[in-house]
Each structure stands twice: as structure tokens, then as C-alpha cells.
């Protein structure tokens, strides 16, 4: 079935209310912390109060003797019994040598390398006893100087023996000689130094794990707040604990948000699984919010110098970028590919820039590991490109929209100079619709109204592109990926015609149980209520790569479509037999099988029943049953794109930035459930505005302490901080997956930060302000205005 | 949270007795309980004042409002008496924390805690309130003594606060972006005894601003304070605002508060 026919089916494009919300809204959700096993014990971790220190001695004697304590484990107990946490992507230096990949121990053994680094594990009968005992563990530290500022990391003390100058890798992409040559002939060069601020993920459900070992079956059952349970199992069994994979079941039940931070294999998950076997029980740990702040993988944290070379008309000739990327203290699971594969390849943006060269230096610092966070590399790239383009426009005396329109890619497929090939898109259409919805025509009048109130109004553009559904596996493998990037789907038709779908994608708030049910219901001509979606359980789902990089529908949904193709093909054979016709003469639509050119039909449910009660059935040529599995490995990324327009009003007396209007026009290809997509865009835009205006993870340079370790100092955005968003859509269906969808989960967080900052800078231009880093807090804006006045 | 015992006395006398024996008084718990959850506070016994009826309530006595120490922020915010007599106080209460905080937090708890960024201390100081305790009466000018320090003796409880009704008053809070406590809050009041201006959020505790008061005594207009500078060296600076920024904000918030009071 072609994409156009698929998109016209019933339930496709229908804002069906979410099937999962009933249990979420009535407190019936089952999160990891809700799971209680027989013989349930509880864990607490002893964490480092220092950013960098040698562990001289750990005394657990007092803690071990406390009430209810089963055992206290230290790094020494684990030494030699397991591997460290693996990094899932190998990045190579320009000379071909591999990145520095120092060990990432499950419990710190000789050294701690960031505040919150886990040093010991206490297992006790109650959470309170575990916590009390953890406080009684005596650790003798020799405190060393921290390494916080990555620009000076090479001069700091080495965090790892393997990386004496704290340098992890240098990565380059593009033709440097061609770029340099283009710069030499440019009519104008625009330069920009920018910081992409460190963010701390704040899923509503903190990380949690409940690991059980069952002696009778020699099996492990691990409940964990995770986005990809099969990957968690593979990494843990094959690379860390050397356990038989088939004896380990990982279940990610209801999960309350992830934003990337729950993709990774964390030390706590491994430590509890191992300890459960040692003690023969189930052990549960749920992070407290203050633990989440210091131990979840953080996001972003780049320092970049970018240059754009242009001809006299503002046509882009070449772009040159250097970025310092903070890895934190250890290499988290996908940390290394974020500022490289997911960043450098996106620097073309929506523009036909002929030559691009990017160089990235990655550094170890004594901070929490940095890894993928909603957008993962693509927000960083978009921020560089869209800030640079707006500044270039102003330097060239062009309007923000004009310079973009002059440089948009218009012919597809388009091969960028940074490896990607865009399959389809219509960037002018997104821009035009955004300008209409944002009432750009009325902007000058609004600016005058603001002016009369003593306020500064500005407008900012951002035309983003992202690459979703990371693929194909073989090309990713050639680029250093240590995992496949396909997805698996199984469609199980029951005898009565209802359906259970097993998907390797994982929903932690995205609404897959509804969207995927709509896809299956549309294809089979049944009601979505007849379709249940099972995910997040290695014991029930054949395999899965999980959910990240806005891949669920484009890759996971495509796998389900492939399985549905098989279901339909087999069902047609059964129907042909029942109606005594040839397979080739059977048509299927609206849930009815029909013999072409006749009025003979039978419903889907009758075929389903026949498959399981095969009395009148071609048993000699066809197996009974109607249950099909498919794996789908995409042939290319998908390329969602759009234009965002932000209008801000700034009070120069206080520096307060108020977002007055925000318009987002996105091209996500075919949309299954518009309400869910809108929700994803709203959340993404709010997260991006959080980064632009409020959020900032800050470590003290002298002490290495996290200064923003709670909501008292880490500024989370709230609904009341934003206006109602105006959304619009353009649809150019993805050309290479059967749904035609592109992915919508990260777009808002990718596209919005530069739109906001460009608007702030536009507003402050008349005060002499040229530059401003995120987050544009009131204090920072006010100080910037004061400095510009001087 | 560490284990603790819990008492809920029905009379002030019983509460005072328990406090004298070492128990920790629990009013609304919006600071204490959070500190206990973080294990930053570890009282062995909590004495919940929520069962003492005489501590809650709002009434007018002549030219004064009397508000019981255990009156919740939400009740002050919604009180017609307060809204009519001192609208600035009702509005202040309506903007403390979030809905959950306002449903539990109390006037007496906030004043006794004397958080340097709390709202109520600014109102008490600017309005020249009198704090009635189990032992005596203390003027606001004498009560607040710096970072979390007050004139209260151990086992001395605030029972009520008497608020003289001002001619005009207003409070403007500039929220710290993360906590939403006051980065700077300025309460201006035109009282029978002259103009009083109290600033919260800027230093180690709420303080009166003599220069602003002098300027406003001459002319109770925003323009009168437009050029009044605040010495930044007396103020705190942190991640959310330098001392210089806070000093500047005091001037801006003072102008806006006066503009609001004037109407």
C-alpha cells in the first residue's frame, strides 16, 4: 500500500483521545517504584561529595552492623567480577586512532570523578534503613583539584590515566581545503562565538530500578525506568556482567518521561542486578530528585566558534565550525556520537551551502556525564546555524526571512556536504505559512505599541532541520555505531479478530498505545479499541531498539506496517480458500475480503477465526495461525523541518523577556494523531524555551560542586511562563518509509532556542547589544544592556 | 526524613510546655518538612500547632487587623476583611509559593522562620506590625534580626499579628527564576507614622530602606524614588542576580510599588 492510500484510511489523521490516559490520570499507572516483589529489599548509594578525589579507604563496618542491613558493597567487592559501563559509539581521530575510552566503573574504586559518583551500595530491609546505613559508610578521600572549564581542561589534573590531557577525541567532517578556499574569496564573513548551555533532564519520574534474581529458574527480572529495555539487557549481559541474555528479562513498565536520559545503561542498574544475585533477593532503588540532578546524564554543553562565508548577495559559500564538547567524567552510552554524528552532519540546515567543515574536540571534566537529551546534537547544530544565519542577515543588511529564502534547498533529493541526503521537503512552504500565522505583517504596529510602553519588542526566526530515525544499520556501523538501528514489530491476530501488537519502540509518555493502534486499526479495518499495544518487556516483545531520536513511528511503526503486510498476504490466502477464489483475485479494504469483480465478501474476523480453527483450511500449503513478525531497517534518515517565529517583549528596566507570540510550522510528513503531535510540539517548544530563557546546569569552577542541584536554583519552565503557541503543518511525506512520517518528538526543542534568542537580540539591537548567551535570564539581559551602553 | 515523634496539642499552654521540653514547633511545615525530607533538619519531636483553634482567624479591631499566627496564606488571600482593609497584604499572600504552599503555609510560621527571601516579613516591617507572642508583644522593627534569626526566645510562640491599617500600601515581588521566592520584593506603606519601605530578598534578612522612605515622605510618587540609589555592597549576589542587579531592582520595584499604591 502506498503512502498516499495509507494516509486516506479511516483513523489516520484522527485526534483520538489517548488510550493510556485513563490509567495515568486515575493513578492506575504501574511505574517501577510501584512494583513490589516477594522478598523485596531496598538500596541506597553512597555518593561522592567531591568533584575529584582519590579514595583512600572505605570503612563499611559501622554501616554493615546497622539494623536491617543485608550487605554493603564497595568498588573493591566488584573489582574483577564485571566490566565497566560500555560506550556505544566509537569515534576516531583524523589520524584514524580511536578516542580515549577510559573505564567507567560500576562503583568508583580508586577515584571519584564528579560530585555524585557512586562509591558504595547498601542493601537493607527498608529504604530508610538503607539510607541511614549509607550515611554511616566512612570514606576517606584525598581531594584533588576539579576540572570544570573544558577550555582549560588540558591544563588540569588528569581525570583518567588513559587521557593525560583530559582530551577524548578530535573529530572532523568536510573538506577543509575547499572550505578555506571559499572563505578566501568571500565578499563577507560572519563570525560568532556561542555557548550551548548545559541542561539537566528532569523527567517527572526519576530513574528507578527493581532487580530480582529467582533461584528456582536461575532468572533475573529487572524492572527499570528505561527507554529501550532490549538495549539495556544486551549491554548489561554481554558487556558488563557476562550473564546469559536469555536468562535476563528487562521490563520498562510505565515510564514517566525520559527525554533521552533513560536511554542509557546506568551503573545503578548493573549494581542492583549483580547484588540481587549475590543476595538472592529483589532490590529496589528509586532516585531522589537531588540524586537525579547529580547522577543523570546531562545534556548539551558546547562552546563553539562558527563562521559563514557569503557572496555579495548573501548567498552562502562555505561554513567553518569548531566546537568544544563536554563529555563529563565518563563516556555515557551514546555520549560520543552526540557532538559528532548527530551534530556535524546537521550543519547544512535547510541551506544549500556548498562547503562545510567542522572540527570537534571532546573533553573529560569532573562533572556528570553528558549524553543525548531531547534533540541530541541537532539542537546544538541548529543553534549554531540559525544564530549565524540571523547575524549574517543583519551584517548584510538583509531581513531574517530574506537571507533564509535566498539560501533554502529547493531541489530534492539533496546531498549535503556533510554526509546526509535529504529526501524531501518544502522549506519555502513552511516559511510562508509561518509568516502568515505569525502575522508578520502586523509586527511593526505591535513594536510601536511596545515602544509606547517603554518595552523593546523583537522578532526571531529559526528554520531548523533534523535527522530522525537514525539509520541504516550498516552505514551507522561504518561510522562507529556498536549497535543496530532497526526496529521490530509483531502483529498477533487473535481468533476473535482483536489484535495485540508487540513493538520494540517504547512509550514513556508519547502515546504509542494510541498512535500504533490507529495504524493497525486503519490497515485491518477494525476499531482501535480492538488493538492493544505491548511494549517495554524483553519477555514479551521479540526484540527492540527502543525509543530515541524521534524514531518510534518512522522506524517502529514501519516495522509494524511490514508485519501487517505479511498478515494481509496470509489472510488473503485464507480468504481465497474460503471463497474458493484465487489469491490474486482477493481485495482487502474496510475490513472486508472481496473476490474481485464479484459481490462475494467475508469479514476480517471470520478469516482470523478460520486461521485458528482450521477446519476448512489449506493445511497442505498454509500454516494455521495469524501472527507475523517483521524487522525494519530504514534506508535513510527522515528529515523533519520547519520554520519557527518568536516575538518577545523585553522590559529594559528589569531584563525580563516575555515571549509574546510563538509560531511553529513543522513538516512531519504524514501525521497519524494530530493531537498527540501537537502535544509533542508544545512540550518540545517549552523545553527549548526553557533552555533559551531559564535552564542552566552550573558547576562551581573552584569546588566542582553543582550549584544548580535542586529546583531552588535550576529554573524549570512552567506553563504560565509561555503564551499559547500557534502551530501549523506542511506535509511532504517521507519517501522511504511506508507510513510517510518523519518524527515529531524533538523538533520543538531543536527549533525553538535560536528563534527565541534571535528575537531577544533583535529587540536589543537598538540598545547596541550584539550578542547574548543562553539562558537569557533577567539578570543576564539587564547586565548585557548595561555593558552595551558603555 | 529521619524518624520522629508527633504531638498535636489542643492548647497553647500544652504546646509551650512541649516546646520548652525540646520539641520543634510545626506550623504550616512548608520549610521545616522540606528540610526534614532532605535530612537537613532532624527534630526528634514535632509539635503540630494545627490543633489549637485560638491561633487561627482574622478580625478587625479598631484601626487594626488581627490575624492569628496559624492562619493559612490562602485564607489571608481570600479574606474579605483583609482585601478591604489592607489589599496589599491579601495580594502578597495570594502570591506566596504555589497553591499547595498557600493551602498549608501560615503567617506565624513564615515570620518565625524569617527566610531572607520571604514575603510576609516585608509586609510586617513596612506596615509596622506588632507580633503578639505567648510572652509579650514585639514590634516588627525589633523582631527581625537577620538571617533566619528573630527576637523569639526558645519556646516562645507567635500567637497573632496586629496590622495597623495604612493609608496606602503595595508590594511588588520580582521572583527568582527557579525558586520563585523574592529575588527582590519591595513593600511600601504610607502609614500614620510616615512612609515605611521594607525590602526582602536582597540581603541577610528583611530591612527598611531609609533613603526610599525619606524620598517618599517628601512626595509619595514613583518619580520621587527614580533617582534613589541603593548601595550594592550591602546586598547579596548569586547565580540569579548580582548585588548590583539587586540594588537596581530595589529602585525599579520601589517605583512600581508606589505607582501601584497610588493607583
Residue of B40, B178, B182, B245 for testing the chain A interface, max A β-carbons within 10 Å: B178
pLDDT value for A471: 78
B239 contacts A694? CB cut-off 8 A: no
Peptide bond into A472 cis (omega under 30): yes
Query: pLDDT, tens digit, for every residue of A128-153?
Result: 999 999 999 999 999 999 999 999 99
> From CA B108, how far away is CA B15, in angstroms rounded?
14
- Mean of pLDDT over chain A: 97
pLDDT value for A483: 85
pLDDT value for B40: 94
**How many beta-carbon pairs under 8 angstroms link A with B?**
41
The beta-carbon neighbor of B249 closest among A132, A654, A711 is: A654
Architecture per CATH, A3-29+486-632: 2-Layer Sandwich (3.30)
Q: Does A714 touch chain B (CB under 8 A)?
A: yes
pLDDT value for A474: 87
Distances (CA, A) of A697 to A296, A706, A713: 12, 8, 9
> From CA A67, how far away is CA A124, in angstroms rounded?
8
Measure B245 CA to nearest chain A CA, in Å: 7
Q: Does B84 touch chain A (CB under 8 A)?
A: no
- Mean pLDDT on A159-166: 98
- pLDDT of A692 higher than 90: yes
Chain B residues lying within 8 Å of A777, measured CB to CB: 177, 240
The domains of chain A are located at 3-29+486-632, 32-144+206-255+262-295, 302-471+636-789
- pLDDT of A379 higher than 60: yes
pLDDT tens per residue across all 263 residues of chain B:
899 999 999 999 999 999 999 999 999 999 999 999 999 999 999 999 999 999 999 999 999 999 999 999 999 999 999 999 999 999 999 999 999 999 999 999 999 999 999 999 999 999 999 999 999 999 999 999 999 999 999 889 999 999 999 999 999 999 999 999 999 999 999 999 999 999 999 999 999 999 999 999 999 999 999 999 999 999 999 999 999 999 999 999 999 999 999 98
Query: pLDDT, tens digit, for every residue of A251-274?
Result: 999 999 999 999 999 999 999 999
Q: Does B121 touch chain A (CB under 8 A)?
A: no
DSSP B99-130: HHHHHH-BHHHHHHHT-TT-SHHHHHHHHT-E
* Lookup: cell for B172: 511588588
Query: pLDDT, tens digit, for every residue of A510-549?
Result: 999 999 999 999 999 999 999 999 999 999 999 999 999 9
pLDDT value for A482: 86
pLDDT value for A472: 86
Chain A residues lying within 8 Å of B245, measured CB to CB: 655, 779, 782-783
Contact A282, A276 (CB under 8 A): yes
B174 contacts A290? CB cut-off 8 A: no
- Mean pLDDT on A694-721: 97
Q: Does A703 touch chain B (CB under 8 A)?
A: no
pTM exceeds cut of 0.95 = yes
Q: Which residue has the cell 525589633?
A: B142
Q: What CATH number is given for A302-471+636-789 in this structure?
A: 3.30.365.10
Query: pLDDT, tens digit, for every residue of A546-590?
Result: 999 999 999 999 999 999 999 999 999 999 999 999 999 999 999
Q: Which residue of A has its CA nearest to B242?
A: A779
> From CA B159, how far away is CA B102, in angstroms rounded?
19
Which residue in A185, A151, A248, A158 sits closest to A539, CA to CA?
A: A248
Contact A283, A39 (CB under 8 A): no
Chain B residues lying within 8 Å of A654, measured CB to CB: 174, 249, 252
Tell whether the torsion through CA atoms of A603, A608, A611 and A612 is positive or negative. Answer: negative
Exposed / middle / buried, residue B233 (Cβ in 10 Å: 0-12, 13-18, 19+): exposed
Query: pLDDT, tens digit, for every residue of A616-631?
Result: 999 999 999 999 999 9
pLDDT value for A608: 98
Exposed / middle / buried, residue B179 (Cβ in 10 Å: 0-12, 13-18, 19+): middle
- pLDDT of A192 higher than 90: yes
Measure B179 CA to nearest chain A CA, in Å: 4
Which residue in B107, B101, B52, B54 sits closest to B79, CA to CA?
A: B107
The domains of chain B are located at 1-48, 168-262
The beta-carbon neighbor of A713 closest among B178, B242, B245 is: B178
Contact A255, A278 (CB under 8 A): no
Chain B residues lying within 8 Å of A653, measured CB to CB: 252
Query: pLDDT, tens digit, for every residue of B63-89?
Result: 999 999 999 999 999 999 999 999 999
- Domain B1-48: which CATH number of 3.30.43.10, 2.60.40.10, 3.40.50.2300, 3.65.10.10: 3.30.43.10
Measure B251 CA to nearest chain A CA, in Å: 10
> From CA B155, how far away is CA B24, in angstroms rounded?
9
Contact A1, A525 (CB under 8 A): no
Within 10 A of B137 (CB to CB), how many other CB atoms are there?
11
DSSP A154: G
Exposed / middle / buried, residue A95 (Cβ in 10 Å: 0-12, 13-18, 19+): exposed
Residues whose CB falls within 8 Å of the CB of residue A295, separated by 6 or more in sequence, listed in order = A47, A116, A118, A207, A266, A268, A287, A368
Query: pLDDT, tens digit, for every residue of B169-213?
Result: 999 999 999 999 999 999 999 999 999 999 999 999 999 999 999
CATH superfamily entry for domain A32-144+206-255+262-295: Aldehyde oxidase/xanthine dehydrogenase, a/b hammerhead (3.90.1170.50)
A183 in helix, strand or coil? helix
Measure B39 CA to nearest chain A CA, in Å: 10
pLDDT value for A650: 98
Chain A residues lying within 8 Å of B248, measured CB to CB: 782
Beta pairing, strands A316-328 & A355-364 = parallel
> From CA B171, how far away is CA B183, in angstroms rounded?
13
Distances (CA, A) of A589 to A385, A490, A517, A522, A593: 47, 21, 17, 10, 7
Chain B residues lying within 8 Å of A790, measured CB to CB: none
**A347 phi and psi angles, rounded to 5 deg:** -75, -10
Helix, strand and coil in chain B, % to nearest 5: 40, 25, 35
Chain A residues lying within 8 Å of B2, measured CB to CB: 132
**A468 phi and psi angles, rounded to 5 deg:** -115, 170
Exposed / middle / buried, residue B104 (Cβ in 10 Å: 0-12, 13-18, 19+): middle
> From CA B122, how far away is CA B171, in angstroms rounded?
8
Q: How far apart are the first and last CA of chain A?
A: 66
Q: Does B241 touch chain A (CB under 8 A)?
A: yes
Give me the interface pTM, i.e. the ipTM.
Answer: 0.96
pLDDT value for A406: 98
Q: Note the residue count of chain A.
A: 790
Beta pairing, strands B5-7 & B45-48 = parallel
A708 contacts B239? CB cut-off 8 A: yes
Q: Does A778 touch chain B (CB under 8 A)?
A: yes
Contact A656, A766 (CB under 8 A): no
Which residue in A705, A687, A689 sits closest to A697, CA to CA?
A: A705
pLDDT value for A478: 86
Dihedral in degrees, nearest 10, Cα atoms A218, A224, A226, A231? -10
Any idea what the Cα angle at residue A683 is, between residues A679 and A686, rounded to 5°? 140
> From CA A76, how far away is CA A110, in angstroms rounded?
9
H/E run at residue B212: helix B210-218
Measure B152 CA to nearest chain A CA, in Å: 27
Percentage of chain B beyond pLDDT 90 is 98
What class is the B168-262 domain? alpha beta
> From CA B247, how far away is CA B249, in angstroms rounded?
5
Q: How far apart are the first and last CA of chain B?
A: 47
Q: Does A777 touch chain B (CB under 8 A)?
A: yes
Q: Does A787 touch chain B (CB under 8 A)?
A: no
pLDDT value for A790: 57
The beta-carbon neighbor of A654 closest among B39, B174, B178 is: B174
Query: pLDDT, tens digit, for every residue of A332-353?
Result: 999 999 999 999 999 999 999 9
The beta-carbon neighbor of A711 closest among B39, B178, B252 is: B178
Residues 115-154 (A) with a CB less than 8 A from some CB of B: 128, 132, 135
Helix, strand and coil in chain A, % to nearest 5: 30, 25, 40
The beta-carbon neighbor of B177 closest among A707, A777, A782 is: A777
> From CA A779, how far away is CA B239, in angstroms rounded?
9
Chain B residues lying within 8 Å of A783, measured CB to CB: 242, 245
Amino acid at each position: 500500500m502506498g503512502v498516499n492510500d495509507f494516509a486516506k484510511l479511516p483513523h489516520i489523521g484522527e485526534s483520538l483521545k489517548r488510550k493510556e490516559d485513563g490509567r495515568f490520570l486515575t493513578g492506575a499507572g504501574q511505574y517501577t517504584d510501584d512494583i513490589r516483589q516477594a522478598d523485596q529489599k531496598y538500596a541506597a548509594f553512597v555518593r561522592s561529595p567531591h568533584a575529584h578525589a582519590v579514595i583512600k579507604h572505605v570503612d563499611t563496618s559501622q554501616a554493615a552492623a546497622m539494623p536491617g542491613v543485608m550487605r554493603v558493597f564497595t568498588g573493591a567487592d566488584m573489582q574483577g567480577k564485571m566490566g565497566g559501563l560500555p560506550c556505544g559509539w566509537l569515534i576516531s581521530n583524523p589520524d584514524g586512532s580511536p578516542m580515549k575510552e577510559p573505564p567507567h566503573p560500576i562503583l568508583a574504586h580508586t577515584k571519584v570523578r564528579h560530585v555524585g559518583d557512586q562509591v558504595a551500595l547498601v542493601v537493607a530491609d527498608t529504604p530508610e534503613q538503607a539510607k541511614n546505613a549509607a550515611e554511616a559508610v566512612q570514606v576517606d578521600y584525598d581531594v584533588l583539584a576539579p576540572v570544570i572549564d573544558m577550555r582549560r581542561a588540558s591544563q588540569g589534573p588528569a581525570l583518567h590515566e588513559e587521557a593525560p590531557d583530559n582530551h577524548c577525541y578530535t573529530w572532523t567532517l568536510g573538506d577543509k581545503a575547499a572550505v578555506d578556499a571559499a572563505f578566501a574569496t568571500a565578499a563577507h564573513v560572519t563570525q560568532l562565538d556561542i555557548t550551548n548551555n548545559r541542561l539537566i533532564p528532569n523527567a517527572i519520574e526519576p530513574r528507578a530500578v527493581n532487580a530480582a534474581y529467582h533461584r528456582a529458574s536461575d532468572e533475573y527480572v529487572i524492572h527499570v525506568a528505561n527507554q529501550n529495555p532490549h538495549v539495556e539487557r544486551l549491554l548489561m549481559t554481554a558487556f558488563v556482567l557476562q550473564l546469559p541474555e536469555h536468562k535476563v528479562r528487562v521490563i520498562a513498565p510505565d515510564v514517566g518521561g525520559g527525554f533521552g536520559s533513560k536511554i542509557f545503561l546506568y551503573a545503578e542498574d548493573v549494581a542492583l542486578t549483580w547484588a540481587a544475585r549475590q543476595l538472592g533477593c529483589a532490590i529496589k532503588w528509586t532516585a531522589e530528585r537531588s540524586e537525579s540532578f547529580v547522577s543523570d546524564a546531562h545534556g548539551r554543553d558546547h562552546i563553539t566558534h562558527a563562521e559563514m562565508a557569503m557572496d555579495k548577495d548573501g548567498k552562502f559559500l562555505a561554513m567553518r565550525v569548531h566546537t568544544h564538547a563536554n563529555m563529563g567524567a565518563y563516556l555515557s552510552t551514546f555520549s560520543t556520537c552526540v557532538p559528532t554524528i548527530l551534530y556535524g552532519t546537521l550543519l547544512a540546515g535547510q541551506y544549500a551551502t556548498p562547503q562545510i567543515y567542522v572540527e570537534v574536540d571532546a573533553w573529560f571534566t569532573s562533572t556528570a556525564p553528558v549524553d543525548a537529551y531531547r534533540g541530541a546534537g541537532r539542537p546544538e547544530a541548529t543553534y549554531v546555524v540559525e544564530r549565524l544565519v540571523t547575524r549574517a542577515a543583519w551584517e548584510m543588511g538583509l531581513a531574517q526571512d530574506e537571507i533564509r529564502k535566498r539560501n533554502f534547498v529547493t531541489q530534492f533529493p539533496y546531498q549535503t556536504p556533510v554526509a546526509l541526503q535529504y529526501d524531501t521537503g518544502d522549506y519555502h512552504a513552511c516559511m510562508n505559512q509561518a509568516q502568515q500565522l505569525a502575522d508578520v505583517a502586523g509586527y511593526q504596529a505591535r513594536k510601536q505599541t511596545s515602544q509606547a510602553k517603554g518595552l523593546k519588542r523583537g522578532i526571531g526566526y529559526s528554520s531548523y532541520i533534523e535527522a530522525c530515525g537514525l539509520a541504516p544499520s550498516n552505514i551507522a556501523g561504518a561510522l562507529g555505531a556498536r549497535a543496530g538501528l532497526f526496529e521490530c514489530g509483531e502483529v498477533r491476530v487473535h481468533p476473535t479478530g482483536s489484535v495485540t501488537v508487540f513493538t520494540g519502540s517504547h512509550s514513556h509518555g508519547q502515546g504509542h498505545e494510541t498512535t500504533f493502534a490507529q495504524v493497525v486499526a486503519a490497515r485491518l479495518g477494525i476499531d482501535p479499541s480492538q488493538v492493544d499495544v505491548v511494549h517495554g518487556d524483553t519477555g514479551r516483545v521479540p526484540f527492540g531498539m527502543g525509543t530515541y531520536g524521534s524514531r518510534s513511528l518512522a522506524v517502529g511503526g514501519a516495522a509494524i506496517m511490514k508485519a501487517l503486510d505479511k498478515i494481509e498476504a496470509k489472510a488473503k490466502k485464507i480468504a481465497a480458500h474460503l471463497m474458493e477464489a484465487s489469491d490474486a483475485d482477493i481485495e482487502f479494504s474496510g475490513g472486508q475480503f472481496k473476490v474481485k469483480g464479484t459481490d462475494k465478501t467475508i469479514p476480517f474476523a471470520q478469516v482470523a477465526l478460520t486461521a485458528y480453527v482450521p477446519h476448512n483450511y489449506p493445511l497442505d500449503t498454509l500454516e494455521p495461525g495469524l501472527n507475523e513478525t517483521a524487522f525494519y531497517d530504514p534506508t535513510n534518515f527522515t528529515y523533519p523541518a520547519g520554520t519557527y517565529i518568536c516575538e518577545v517583549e523585553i522590559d529594559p528596566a528589569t531584563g525580563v523577556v516575555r515571549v509574546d507570540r510563538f509560531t511553529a510550522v513543522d513538516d512531519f510528513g504524514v501525521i497519524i494523531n494530530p493531537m498527540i503531535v501537537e502535544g509533542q510540539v508544545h512540550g518540545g517548544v517549552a523545553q527549548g524555551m526553557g533552555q533559551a530563557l531559564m535552564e542552566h546546569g552550573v558547576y562551581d569552577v573552584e569546588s566542582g560542586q553543582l550549584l544548580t542541584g535542586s529546583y531552588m536554583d535550576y529554573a524549570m519552565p512552567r506553563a504560565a511562563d509561555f503564551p499559547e503557541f500557534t502551530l501549523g503543518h506542511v506535509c511532504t511525506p517521507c519517501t522511504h518509509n511506508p507510513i510517510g512520517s518523519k518524527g515529531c518528538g524533538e523538533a520543538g526543542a531543536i527549533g525553538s532556542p535560536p528563534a527565541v534568542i534571535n528575537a531577544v537580540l533583535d529587540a536589543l539591537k537598538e540598545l547596541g547589544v550584539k550578542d547574548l548567551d543562553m539562558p537569557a535570564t533577567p539578570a543576564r539581559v539587564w547586565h548585557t544592556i548595561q555593558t552595551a551602553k558603555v | 526524613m529521619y524518624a520522629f515523634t508527633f504531638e498535636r496539642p489542643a492548647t497553647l499552654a500544652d504546646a509551650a510546655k512541649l516546646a520548652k521540653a525540646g520539641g520543634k514547633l510545626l506550623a504550616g511545615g512548608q520549610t521545616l518538612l522540606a528540610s526534614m525530607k532532605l535530612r537537613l533538619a532532624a527534630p526528634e519531636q514535632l509539635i503540630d500547632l494545627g490543633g489549637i483553634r485560638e491561633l487561627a482567624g482574622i478580625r478587625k479591631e479598631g484601626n487594626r487587623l488581627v490575624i492569628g499566627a496559624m492562619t493559612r496564606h490562602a485564607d489571608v488571600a481570600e479574606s474579605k476583611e483583609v482585601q478591604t482593609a489592607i489589599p496589599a497584604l491579601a495580594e502578597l499572600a495570594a502570591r506566596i509559593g504555589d497553591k499547595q504552599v498557600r493551602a498549608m503555609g501560615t503567617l506565624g510560621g513564615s515570620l518565625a522562620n524569617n527566610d531572607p527571601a520571604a514575603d510576609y516579613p516585608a509586609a510586617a516591617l513596612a506596615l509596622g506590625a506588632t507580633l503578639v507572642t505567648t510572652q509579650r508583644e514585639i514590634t516588627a522593627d525589633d523582631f527581625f534580626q537577620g538571617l533566619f534569626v528573630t527576637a523569639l526566645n526558645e519556646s516562645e510562640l507567635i500567637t497573632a499579628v496586629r496590622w495597623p491599617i495604612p493609608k496606602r500600601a503595595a508590594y511588588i515581588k520580582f521572583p527568582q527564576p527557579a525558586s520563585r521566592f523574592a529575588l527582590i520584593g519591595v513593600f511600601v506603606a504610607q502609614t500614620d507614622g510616615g512612609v515605611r519601605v521594607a525590602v526582602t530578598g536582597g540581603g541577610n534578612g528583611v530591612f527598611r530602606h531609609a533613603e526610599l522612605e525619606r524620598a517618599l515622605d517628601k512626595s509619595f510618587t514613583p518619580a520621587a524614588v527614580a533617582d534613589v540609589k541603593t548601595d550594592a555592597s550591602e546586598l547579596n549576589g548569586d547565580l540569579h542576580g548580582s548585588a548590583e542587579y539587586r540594588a537596581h531592582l530595589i529602585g525599579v520595584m520601589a517605583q512600581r510599588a508606589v505607582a501601584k499604591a497610588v493607583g
